[in-house]
Amino acid sequence: MIYPQTFASEVSKNIDAIGKYGCLAMCYLYCVGIRDNALEYIRILSDCMNKGILDNECTVLNASRFLEYVTGKRYDVTKEQFNDLKKVKCYPVRYVYNGRGHWVVVDNGKIVFNSLINSQCVTKGKPDTKDNTRVIKLAR
């Protein structure tokens, strides 16, 4: 049975935080193959916020736990620094501008996913200089 009114109420509590701070979580979803469905992204992130997997500002508290909950598969996620983004293989990369940050997915040096139509962090900024990339690998 579905409960659309309950769903709408739960999502409405979280939608502002998802819109402001959900970029890294959305990048993780893209990297594990969840793509091209904005409503599904919002549903997943709201559900994870309600369950405490993401905090109330949609911050990823534990990337491996988040990805396992969403996919049912175990992933290892590490923070790494890439000076040459052409070596990045479909991972989240943090761009910074004017003290603000925004996460996008980069593959072979090109941005392949950006949760915003326009981000000044991306258009005017540059990749963060410390631990700018999250490397995602299936756990063995």
Q: How far is CA 19 from CA 11, 13, 53, 110, in A?
A: 11, 12, 17, 23
Q: Is the pLDDT of residue 2 over 80?
A: no
Q: Is the pLDDT of residue 130 over 90?
A: no
**What's the CA gap between 35 and 113, in Å, rounded?**
9
Taking the mean position of all CA atoms in its chain, how far away is CA 111? 14
**What's the CA gap between 53 and 48, in Å, rounded?**
5
**Its pTM surpasses 0.85:** yes
Taking the mean position of all CA atoms in its chain, how far away is CA 98? 21
Q: Is the pLDDT of residue 118 over 90?
A: yes
End-to-end CA distance of the chain: 36
